[in-house]
Structure 1
């Protein structure tokens, strides 16, 4: 990939992270009866525990998405180690609580077992990769830390891909929400993890070649 193409991809990536990271604000300035909440029952929408988990998930998930992309440029990390560490701790904290809340609300995902498994799996993977990223940093294994956090942010980026894929799938299924939601519950994150795997593998190969 040429340098200018990489820059374009990076700026598109950054723009999407910021826009969707700020997206939860909408729930506080207009009637929340829109988007995915339209598929929920009145009973669930009035459940205090579900609402606590929902707002924890979207607010902290939005924060994680909003700040996480800043951690990837190597030049920034090298020049701002203390800032990198502080942002990283905010990201890990936000991801920890958002993923746990996401696992809980995933149990109530519209569309039954297919959607539930997709979103609960996403929450578990986001939680697990984030915690591994934190633990490897604590141990000073920064190569593994970078790799685990790449997977973590790939899971976090599912928030972006869900909002890209769902309208496309709704159009394919001529407005039928359930079949589109069944697919997006997996499509929003599985390809992300494959891309993360490719990035990590490429990074490892580059490291091996560097020392041979």
Structure 2
């Protein structure tokens, strides 16, 4: 799977913007919570803080794991970033599972977020297991899938903005978005990283800069 430099830049910029916007939740200021969930967040600030902190770490570091230049020139730094990313996924995923039972939108949304949290932990854990067994290509596949779920933080907010602009019913939209923010991401990541018998393995995500130039 290869992405262009522009594609990588869009991914990194969107991730960084959501990190900056969502960091305000760590202030635990009630005014930062949307009104429908304010009382719930105030009653569950510890799991909220756990989830937000872990997710922000994972989202901020995730794009840099796809830098072939970083892997090639500084593998030790790549490993350190990877370990920190996986710790962010672990913390964020645990927080997600703790928050899912009280999520806004009823049983449909709660199940959607619970499945997202479980899949997030599972893909990250599998990616770690693959590299510990020196199965590098499988590790790369699973880390792409992991970040597809981390990127749900971006797609969730973009979809909520779109629903607001379209003036859709917030509760109904939220129930659908609880699934749409991550299922298509995971399916696309799975499709692009699937093993193709008889074809060269292209699960390594690279950013092509220019003919004859360096990969990012």
Q: Which residue, 146, 163, 177 being the options, matches 2:170?
A: 177
Q: Structure 1 119/15 Cα, relative in aligned 2: closer, same or farther at 3 Å?
A: same
Contact 2:130/2:136, CA 8 A, preserved across alignment: yes
What's the CA shift string for 1:125-149, capped at 9, x where partnerless? 0000000011111111111111111
> Which residue of structure 1 aligns with residue 76 of structure 2?
82
On the 8 A contact 1:170/1:180 being kept in 2, the answer is: no
Q: With structure 1 as the length reference, what TM-score do the two structures score?
A: 0.86
In 2, Cα distance between equivalents of 1:160 and 1:91: 16
- Correspondence for 2:36 among 28, 35, 39: 39
CA–CA distance in 1 between the matches of 2:181 and 2:120?
Answer: 13
> What aligned pairs does 1:150-189 form with structure 2 within 5 A after superposition?
150-172=144-166, 174-189=167-182
Aligned to 2:209: none
Which position in structure 2 is the counterpart of 1:112?
106
Ranges in structure 2 where 5+ consecutive residues have no aligned partner: 202-216
Is contact 1:23-1:62 (8 Å) kept?
Answer: no
Give the direction of change, closer, same or farther, for the CA distance of 1:152–1:73 in structure 2 (3 Å limit).
same
Cα distance in structure 2, aligned partners of 1:152 and 1:30: 28
> Aligned to 1:61, which of 29, 43, 55?
55
**Post-superposition CA distance 1:58-90 (Å, at most 9, x none):** 111011100111011223212211111111110
The question of whether the paired residues in 2 share the 8 Å contact of 1:136 and 1:144 is answered with: yes
Task: Could you tell me which runs of 5 or more consecutive residues in structure 1 were left unpaired when the two chains were aligned.
Answer: none
Q: Which residue of 2 aligns with 1:195?
A: 188
Quick check: 2:23–2:56 contact (8 Å CA) kept in 1? no
The within-5 A match list for 1:85-104 is: 85-104=79-98
* Matched position secondary structure for 1:210: coil
CA contact (8 A) 2:28 2:45 kept: no
CA distance in 1, matches of 2:38, 2:158: 24
1:18 aligned to 2:8? no
Given the superposition, is the C-alpha separation of residues 30 and 113 from structure 1 closer, same or farther in structure 2, using an over 3 Å criterion? closer
> Residue 140 of structure 1 is aligned with which of 130, 134, 144?
134
Higher relative contact order (CA 8 A, sep 6+): 2
Q: Does the 8 A contact of 2:127 with 2:138 survive in 1?
A: yes
Is 1:209–2:199 an aligned residue pair?
yes
Contact 2:18 2:153 in 1 (8 A): yes
